[in-house]
C-alpha cells in the first residue's frame, strides 16, 4: 500500500463549508416546516460528517504506520516493532479500502435501495433453473451484507426454477453495489436435466434500478396505466394470498409491465408497483438520453440484451 497525499482524495475545505452550510440551515426557525426536505438535509449532513471523520481516521492510521516504519529502521530486529508495523499496516489498508469503495459509490442514486429483476432467456427448464440459481446468489449476498430482501414478484418455472422474479433490496448503497450486475449472465454446465449428460449454455438477464423517492419527478398519468389484479403465488407455494390482491400495471405508451404480489392488500401492491413503474420509466428516459449522446459522439453503445455479459 502506498502512502498517498490523502488531502487530494477529496476537497476538505469544500466538505467543511458544506457541513457548516447545512448546520446553519438546520438552525433556522422554519427548518422543520418542510419535514421531508429537513430529513434530506440531515441525511446529507450525516454522510458528509462521516466522510470527514473517515479522512481524519485514515490520516491518523497512516501517521501511526509511518512512525512504526521510522522506529523499525532504527531498530530493525525488534520483534515488537515488527508486530506493531504489521498491525498498523493492516488497519490502514482496511480503512483505505473501505474509503475507496465508498468513494466509488458516489453516483447520484448509489445510496438508494435497489430493484433487481431476473429474467431467464430461451431454453426452458435449463434457463429457468439458472434464474433460480442467480436468485439464491443475490439473496445470500444481500443477507451477508445485512441488506433486507423482499420478493416483490415471483413467477415459478414450469418444472424447475423461475420464469421471473423481482426483488426489493433495501439498505444503504444497495443500488451502488448492484448496478454493475445489470446485463446478461451466462452459465455453461453439464446439465442435470439431460440424461445424456451433455453440456448446455443458459442465459438470464439481470436488470437493476434504483428505488426513487418523491424528489424525482416521473409523471404517471392515470389514462396511461391499465391495472389488472390476480392472485399471488409465492415461492414454493408459500405465502399464497387467496384473494386477488396482487397487482399488475401496464404502461400503455411504452408497453412496460410491472407486478407486485408481496403486500397483503391491493392498495399496498399498487403503491409498490407504481414505484417500480416510475423506476422503469426513469431508466428508459436515461437510456434514451444515452443513445442520443452516443449517436452524437459516434459511439457503438449496447445497453440491451448483450450488455456486460458475465460467464459462469
Q: Which three cell numbers stand for residue 206?
A: 439481470
Q: Which three cell numbers stand for residue 147?
A: 441488506
Number of Cβ atoms within 10 Å of the Cβ of 161: 24
Decide: 153 and 207 in contact? Cβ < 8 Å: no
Decide: 121 and 202 in contact? Cβ < 8 Å: yes
Phi, psi of 227 (to 5 degrees): -110, 135
Q: Which three cell numbers stand for residue 159?
A: 418444472
Q: Which three cell numbers stand for residue 74?
A: 532504527
Instruction: Tell me the C-alpha distance between 77 and 74, whole Å.
Output: 9
Q: Which three cell numbers stand for residue 90?
A: 493492516
CATH fold of the domain at 6-104: Methane Monooxygenase Hydroxylase; Chain G, domain 1 (1.20.58)
Report whether CATH 3.30.70.1660 matches the domain 114-297+305-311. yes
Global confidence as pTM: 0.69
List the chain pLDDT tens, one digit each, 312 residues: 444 455 445 567 788 888 999 899 999 988 898 887 888 888 888 888 887 888 888 888 888 888 888 888 888 888 888 888 888 888 888 888 877 777 778 787 888 899 999 999 877 888 899 999 999 999 999 999 899 999 998 988 888 889 999 999 999 889 999 998 988 898 888 888 777 778 888 889 999 999 887 667 788 888 999 998 888 765 544 444 556 788 999 999 999 999 998 888 888 899 899 989 999 998 888 888 777 766 655 554 443 445 556 888
Burial of 70 (0-12, 13-18, 19+ CB in 10 A): exposed
Instruction: Tell me the C-alpha distance between 254 and 295, whole Å.
Output: 22
Distances (CA, A) of 72 to 60, 78, 86, 89: 19, 7, 11, 13
Instruction: Tell me the C-alpha distance between 306 and 205, whole Å.
Output: 9
For residue 144, the number of C-alpha atoms closer than 13 Å in the C-beta half-sphere is 7
pLDDT score of 234 = 57
Instruction: Tell me the C-alpha distance between 262 and 154, whole Å.
Output: 9
Alpha helices in the chain (DSSP H): 12-26, 35-74, 79-104, 125-144, 174-178, 266-297
Phi, psi of 311 (to 5 degrees): -110, 145
Phi, psi of 152 (to 5 degrees): -80, -40
pLDDT score of 109 = 86
Q: Which three cell numbers stand for residue 186?
A: 451466462
Give 200-239 as a DSSP string. Answer: EEEEEEEEEEEPP-TTS-----GGGEEEEEE----GGG-S
What is the residue extent of each domain of the chain?
6-104, 114-297+305-311
Amino acid at each position: 500500500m502506498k502512502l498517498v497525499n490523502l488531502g487530494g482524495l477529496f476537497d476538505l475545505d469544500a466538505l467543511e463549508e458544506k457541513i457548516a452550510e447545512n448546520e446553519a440551515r438546520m438552525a433556522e426557525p422554519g427548518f422543520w416546516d418542510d419535514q421531508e426536505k429537513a430529513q434530506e438535509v440531515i441525511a446529507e449532513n450525516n454522510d458528509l460528517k462521516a466522510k470527514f471523520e473517515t479522512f481524519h481516521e485514515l490520516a491518523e492510521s497512516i501517521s501511526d504506520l509511518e512512525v512504526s516504519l521510522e522506529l523499525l529502521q532504527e531498530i530493525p530486529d525488534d520483534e515488537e516493532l515488527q508486530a506493531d508495523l504489521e498491525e498498523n499496516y493492516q488497519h490502514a489498508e482496511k480503512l483505505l479500502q473501505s474509503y475507496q469503495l465508498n468513494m466509488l459509490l458516489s453516483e447520484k442514486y448509489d445510496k438508494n435501495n435497489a430493484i433487481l429483476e431476473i429474467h431467464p432467456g430461451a431454453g426452458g427448464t435449463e434457463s429457468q433453473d439458472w434464474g433460480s440459481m442467480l436468485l439464491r446468489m443475490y439473496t445470500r449476498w444481500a443477507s451477508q451484507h445485512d441488506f433486507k430482501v423482499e420478493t416483490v414478484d415471483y413467477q415459478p418455472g414450469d418444472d424447475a426454477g423461475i420464469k421471473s422474479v423481482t426483488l426489493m433490496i433495501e439498505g444503504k448503497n444497495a443500488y451502488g453495489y448492484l448496478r454493475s450486475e445489470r446485463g446478461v449472465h451466462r452459465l455453461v454446465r453439464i446439465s442435470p436435466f439431460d440424461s445424456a449428460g451433455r453440456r448446455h449454455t443458459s442465459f438470464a438477464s439481470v436488470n437493476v434500478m434504483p428505488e426513487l423517492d418523491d424528489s424525482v419527478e416521473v409523471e404517471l398519468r392515470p389514462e396511461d396505466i391499465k391495472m389488472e389484479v390476480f392472485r399471488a403465488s409465492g415461492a414454493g407455494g408459500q405465502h399464497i394470498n387467496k384473494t386477488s390482491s396482487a397487482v399488475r400495471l401496464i404502461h400503455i405508451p411504452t408497453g412496460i409491465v410491472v407486478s407486485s404480489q408481496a403486500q397483503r392488500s391491493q392498495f399496498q401492491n399498487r403503491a409498490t408497483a407504481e414505484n417500480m413503474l416510475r423506476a422503469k420509466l426513469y431508466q428508459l428516459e436515461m437510456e434514451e438520453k444515452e443513445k442520443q449522446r452516443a449517436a452524437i459522439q459516434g459511439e457503438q453503445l449496447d445497453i440491451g440484451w448483450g450488455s456486460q455479459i458475465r460467464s459462469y
